[in-house]
A = this chain, B = another copy of it.
């Protein structure tokens, strides 16, 4: 293999580590830098979510680097949403009517460590921890760094730079401040923040609630969710407004008020959190933001993952989108015959609409998840879709399935088709168009036919 270019990748989180691994496998010389210490040796940094939902798009990226088997042992399958009412009733809503379609709860640290361990087996990779990037020369492909153990900065020269340094990206900030090119960017925060809590394992050493589900306590303006960990605990996340309403992050200031709030709003979950009052005040409250920008490339530099498109977590697609970026970047390399300048432009241009689509969907889903009223038509729709998926597994995919399990479709296509189907089924149920005398196959054909028309005509939906 001829000598390939030297790629500096800034940020050794999930996206940067996967990208570094793939570039190393392609034979590039890779320098991967990270401002934090090695997470395999350190305690988890505060404010980053502890477990994540891994699904098909993410798995596609892990498969590309040959880690599909290794990752399996880290995964806990979740087969559906388990909804918890105020009265403590539970209801499981399966993610798919097909066999074998589920999402996985996975430890962020465990997965990142797997990628880093694998990376270290490549001689053409250098990993530098505790090395903070302070400045990037986008055109010259060099960057300034300040190592934690030194008072002086130095310059690292590469042939190309890829910024995978997350939502607070220094590389993106450099693009924002660079004059002479039109860099559009936005950062939008929800008025809600989040805080992580824990259901520890029971005294008997078991999971405190059903292991194989993603748990949701929808309460209108706020909600709690829980995902299982391999140590039989659950990581619980509270989504709550910073201000307004009876309870909010700004007025939950004493142990007494926190206790009152949880007892009133989440009585069953409260029973499962012996360390609630300690955790509530020790763990940070973090904001929920959407970051968009364009173009993602300038000079010899490219942005990838959260650095270019941070999204809110309500469709469980943040990590999956970032891993899929690496797969899409691989396609861009192929398309441009490994000319990196061309590949950067191609990736930026082609990936942007999909990043926008999943960002919008994740925002929409916030409102759906936390209100999640047991609207009858909505329940009827979900039942019909599960029947479609079960009986006609190759012919019907719900919006959730299209986005989550159909990694062969771009986000933008999955979402436009899914939205059309949602609209059409709800309208047909409300107007009683899907008569009881019709067979399931007849219903399916009608839904598919009209959905296709709705999608192609770009009709405006009323939700």
Chain A positions near chain B (C-beta within 8 angstroms): 176, 182-189, 191, 242, 287, 289, 292, 460
Interface of A is mostly: strand
B460 close to A182 (CB less than 8 A):
no
Closest chain B residue to A173 by CB distance? B177
B186 close to A182 (CB less than 8 A):
no
| CA A141 to CA B438, docked complex, whole Å | 71
- Give 18 A-B contacts (CB < 8 Å), ordered by A residue: A176-B187, A182-B189, A182-B287, A182-B289, A183-B187, A183-B189, A184-B186, A184-B187, A184-B188, A184-B189, A184-B289, A185-B186, A185-B187, A186-B186, A186-B187, A186-B188, A186-B292, A460-B460
| CA A301 to CA B210, docked complex, whole Å | 50
| CA A204 to CA B412, docked complex, whole Å | 61
| CA A301 to CA B187, docked complex, whole Å | 20
Q: How far is the CB of A178 from chain B (nearest CB, A)?
A: 12
| CA A187 to CA B175, docked complex, whole Å | 12
**Cβ contacts under 8 Å, A460 to chain B:** 460
| CA A191 to CA B294, docked complex, whole Å | 12
Q: How far is the CB of A184 from chain B (nearest CB, A)?
A: 5
Closest chain B residue to A185 by CB distance? B187
A242 close to B182 (CB less than 8 A):
yes
Q: How far is the CB of A198 from chain B (nearest CB, A)?
A: 25
**Cβ contacts under 8 Å, A189 to chain B:** 182-184
**Cβ contacts under 8 Å, A289 to chain B:** 182, 184
| CA A242 to CA B187, docked complex, whole Å | 25
Closest chain B residue to A290 by CB distance? B184
| 13 further A-B pairs in the complex, CB-CB below 8 A; given A182-B189, A182-B289, A186-B188 | A176-B187, A182-B191, A182-B242, A183-B187, A183-B189, A184-B186, A184-B187, A184-B188, A184-B289, A185-B186, A185-B187, A186-B292, A460-B460
Q: How far is the CB of A223 from chain B (nearest CB, A)?
A: 19
**Cβ contacts under 8 Å, A182 to chain B:** 189, 191, 242, 287, 289
Q: How far is the CB of A358 from chain B (nearest CB, A)?
A: 18
**Cβ contacts under 8 Å, A287 to chain B:** 182
| CA A254 to CA B367, docked complex, whole Å | 55
| CA A185 to CA B173, docked complex, whole Å | 13
Q: How far is the CB of A217 from chain B (nearest CB, A)?
A: 24
Q: How far is the CB of A169 from chain B (nearest CB, A)?
A: 13
| CA A186 to CA B176, docked complex, whole Å | 11
| CA A191 to CA B295, docked complex, whole Å | 12
Q: How far is the CB of A195 from chain B (nearest CB, A)?
A: 15
**Cβ contacts under 8 Å, A187 to chain B:** 176, 183-186
Q: How far is the CB of A295 from chain B (nearest CB, A)?
A: 10
**Cβ contacts under 8 Å, A183 to chain B:** 187, 189
**Cβ contacts under 8 Å, A242 to chain B:** 182
**Cβ contacts under 8 Å, A292 to chain B:** 186
Closest chain B residue to A176 by CB distance? B187
Q: How far is the CB of A450 from chain B (nearest CB, A)?
A: 21
The 5 nearest A-B residue pairs measured at CB: A186-B186, A182-B189, A184-B188, A184-B189, A182-B287
Closest chain B residue to A189 by CB distance? B182
| CA A183 to CA B242, docked complex, whole Å | 13
Q: How far is the CB of A344 from chain B (nearest CB, A)?
A: 17
**Cβ contacts under 8 Å, A176 to chain B:** 187
Q: How far is the CB of A310 from chain B (nearest CB, A)?
A: 13
| CA A271 to CA B45, docked complex, whole Å | 67
**Cβ contacts under 8 Å, A185 to chain B:** 186-187
Q: How far is the CB of A185 from chain B (nearest CB, A)?
A: 6
**Cβ contacts under 8 Å, A186 to chain B:** 184-188, 292
| CA A191 to CA B289, docked complex, whole Å | 26
Q: How far is the CB of A289 from chain B (nearest CB, A)?
A: 8
Closest chain B residue to A288 by CB distance? B182
Q: How far is the CB of A167 from chain B (nearest CB, A)?
A: 13
| CA A242 to CA B183, docked complex, whole Å | 13
| CA A189 to CA B182, docked complex, whole Å | 6
Q: How far is the CB of A207 from chain B (nearest CB, A)?
A: 35
| CA A191 to CA B183, docked complex, whole Å | 11
| CA A460 to CA B463, docked complex, whole Å | 12
| CA A242 to CA B181, docked complex, whole Å | 10
**Cβ contacts under 8 Å, A188 to chain B:** 184, 186
| CA A191 to CA B292, docked complex, whole Å | 17
| CA A375 to CA B460, docked complex, whole Å | 25
